[in-house]
Structure 1
Amino acid sequence: MLTVSSLVIGLVGFTVIEHFSLVDAFYMTVTTIATVGYGEVHPFSVAGRIFVSFYILYNLIVVAYLVSVLSTFIFDGELRKLFKMYRTDQEIKRFSGHIIVCGFGRNGRKAFQELRLNGARVVVVEQDEQLMKSLAEGRSGEDYDGDGVAGGKIFTVVGDATNDSVLQQAGVERASALITALPKDADNVFVALSARALNPHLKIIARASYKSSESKLLSAGADSVVMPDEIGGSHMANLVVRPEVIRFLDLISGLSADKLRLEEMNFSQMREDLHGRSIRELDVRSITGATIIGLRQADGTLLVSPPVGYIPGPGDVLLLLGNEEQIETFEVRFRQL
């Protein structure tokens, strides 16, 4: 803008004061701005000399300002920031099977924490650039702000998650799942609708504040809808009427210090030499200490405490409960390497 204004001032000044042709005025303007000094096309009048003197001073101020802006851009980290954004974008383009979390508020941040603890690769979509910047500056390898997000790089796409281009930048076509935890239900509906259109095979989990939004989210393409406020109120009520049940659930959800872990294993992930064995013959509890609490059959039927004589088959999924050590032992002894 400053360069254009300088060019216009020069053209007008040389044309009006010295009565140069448009070509000569343009030539004198460019040589003056560039400080080349090839000489005047025609000798200047007194008024022309005064104009050129002030015109040169003006251009020196413009150059000084541009140098100042450029220095600030380079040394205050803006250039480094752009390079970092470009590098992050290139890394995300190589992701496949990752999980996208839209919205980095309390719910989104908790989801991010749990996913990272389980070794998932996560891309965050957040519109508040300042929020992500403050979190990045606060990371020091320790948990901060009590939000459970410790040190480590957060792959972030800054933008509105309701825009298709932003979801595409986050790699929605290659992602395995998407969690939309935006504050407004309408935005979550829009994200679910857009994400489903961009990736028909994507697993979509959506947050809702109101019960009336649940059906809309499911119609928009969400696989599951979670209502944190409703869950919170039900949790508090159950602490009064069935406190021990809730304490046990807290162990499973990780809200207690001595947390338990729920794990699942598809039949196809089980060691081949274990195929054809019944629940009794697998003897998971004696070998690992973990307990098979359920089994989802290939047809979708859920068996709670499956019969010991049941023989898992293709499509079945075992559901297990145990502490970290027990689940790790189960992984080593039963999962196909």
Structure 2
Amino acid sequence: MAATVNPTQVGYIFRLLYVALVALVLVHLFGTIGYMVLTDGKYSWFDCFYMTFITVATIGFGEIIDMSSNQPARILTVVIGILGAGNLSMLFSVVTVALLETDLNGTLQRKRMEKAIKKLKGHYILCGFGRVGRNIAHELEATHRHYVAVDEDTLRLNDYKERNPGFLYLHGDASDDDVLLAADIADAKGVFAVTGDDSRNLMIVLTAKQLKPEVRVVARCQETRNIEKMRKAGADAIVSPDFTGGMRIASAMIRPHVVSFLDEMLKSEKNLRVEEVPVPAGFIPKPISALQLRSANYVLLAVRERNGEWQFNPDEDFLIKPGFMLIAMASPVGRMEIERSLIDAAA
């Protein structure tokens, strides 16, 4: 949980740090000049400075200035020791407080997180980390997909981070260009606009499409009257929780076994999902039988052609071409097996 830092308090701490450093310099100047005067210049400036330094630092090395018969020099040593010890104690205390109050650990953590985000390719940007956003996050994690969460609620993000160490997030307004750029939208595969505010989601859609027109954006819409606005803003898909919830309730009544099957599929230890895998552009057309798409980790259900037509349960002679979309019930491992098969065939 992140602490809120008062800028006035931080400024005061840094002023104390400045005072402590200046005082340390003055103690060394006072001691150096004092030894030079009290020894009538018998020792060099460096010897006088060195004597002052080892006294302040309490290193305990042997004295290089003979004070066996020089009472004033001994008194000066006592004074320097007292001033130096007090000054060092103050300096260390201020430095410790400065490190804690300026959240050095948090700064380093953010730097590491920004570097990790820059390494992502084909990830998703999850704008809004409320109840809906967290459910999306669970689904992305279950299917082994990378994502970056963006939210203005620091406590909500840090709470999830404590339970999920690998969690990547940014604190800020997702409708801000700089925040989406920091989330590496240039390499992102899609953007979720799922805050609880339709106007905010609309701005996220506009910003995302302005920065990367080809990125897929799925938006949450509370009010059905705003769906058309979302669509005009560029959202590729719009989901209304109220409408979807109503359909789910109706399905639970009129087709309970289908709903039960889907629920069990989501609860399965294998994380089975109905997945879609695009056929890459460089793919050489081949019949399904040539791809040997058989595995215990997936079942091929259908193929969507480029003209939008569907081929359900395609036979072995069906020709797979670039631009087609394979629909399969698969685990995350099964999805990756299909992707590798298509890439190997395109190579």
TM-score with structure 2 setting the length = 0.65
Q: Confirm or deny: 8 A CA contact 1:205 1:222 kept in the other structure.
A: yes
| Cα shift at 1:119 | 2.5
Q: Confirm or deny: 8 A CA contact 2:302 2:328 kept in the other structure.
A: yes
Q: Tell me the equivalent position of 1:22.
A: none
Which deviates more from structure 2 when the two are superposed, residues 78-87 or residues 290-299? 290-299
Q: Confirm or deny: 8 A CA contact 2:129 2:151 kept in the other structure.
A: yes
Secondary structure at 2:320 match in 1: coil
Q: Does 1:169 align with 2:182?
A: yes
Q: Which deviations, in whole Å up to 9, do the C-alpha atoms of 1:287-310 show, x marking residues without a partner?
A: 658543221101233333446653
| Cα shift at 1:103 | 1.2
Alpha-carbon distance in 2 for matches of 1:66, 1:213: 59
| Cα shift at 1:271 | 8.4
Identical positions, percent: 27
Q: Which deviations, in whole Å up to 9, do the C-alpha atoms of 1:276-323 show, x marking residues without a partner?
A: 32x5776756x6585432211012333334466532222212212256
Q: Tell me the equivalent position of 2:300.
A: 292
Q: Tell me the equivalent position of 1:245.
A: 258
| Cα shift at 1:98 | 2.0
Q: Tell me the equivalent position of 2:319.
A: 311
Q: Tell me the equivalent position of 1:276.
A: 286
Q: Which deviations, in whole Å up to 9, do the C-alpha atoms of 1:79-127 show, x marking residues without a partner?
A: 1111111222233234333211111112111222222233322111111
Q: Tell me the equivalent position of 2:279.
A: 267
Q: How does 1:165-244 map to 2 (within 5 A)?
A: 165-244=178-257
Q: Tell me the equivalent position of 2:136.
A: 111
Alpha-carbon distance in 2 for matches of 1:248, 1:163: 41
Aligned residues: CA RMSD = 3.9
Q: Tell me the equivalent position of 2:110.
A: 85
Change in 2 beyond 3 A, CA 1:297/1:83: same
Alpha-carbon distance in 2 for matches of 1:205, 1:315: 21
Alpha-carbon distance in 2 for matches of 1:324, 1:95: 18
Q: How does 1:17-166 map to 2 (within 5 A)?
A: 68=93, 70-75=95-100, 78-137=103-162, 139=163, 151-166=164-179
Q: Confirm or deny: 8 A CA contact 2:277 2:327 kept in the other structure.
A: yes
| Equivalent AA in structure 2 for residue 250 of structure 1 | D
Aligned residues: 275
TM-score with structure 1 setting the length = 0.67
| Cα shift at 1:263 | 2.8
Q: Confirm or deny: 8 A CA contact 1:251 1:259 kept in the other structure.
A: no
Alpha-carbon distance in 1 for matches of 2:311, 2:135: 30
Alpha-carbon distance in 2 for matches of 1:64, 1:243: 72
Q: Tell me the equivalent position of 2:8.
A: none
Q: Confirm or deny: 8 A CA contact 1:271 1:334 kept in the other structure.
A: no
Secondary structure at 2:185 match in 1: coil
Secondary structure at 1:194 match in 2: helix
Secondary structure at 2:188 match in 1: coil
Alpha-carbon distance in 1 for matches of 2:165, 2:13: 43
| Equivalent AA in structure 1 for residue 190 of structure 2 | A
Secondary structure at 1:204 match in 2: strand
Secondary structure at 2:327 match in 1: strand
* Structure 2 residues without counterparts, runs of 5 or longer: 1-10, 17-21, 34-87
Q: Confirm or deny: 8 A CA contact 1:270 1:335 kept in the other structure.
A: no
Change in 2 beyond 3 A, CA 1:118/1:322: closer
Secondary structure at 1:178 match in 2: strand
| Cα shift at 1:73 | 3.4
| Cα shift at 1:212 | 1.4
Secondary structure at 1:300 match in 2: coil
| Equivalent AA in structure 2 for residue 88 of structure 1 | M
| Equivalent AA in structure 2 for residue 292 of structure 1 | L
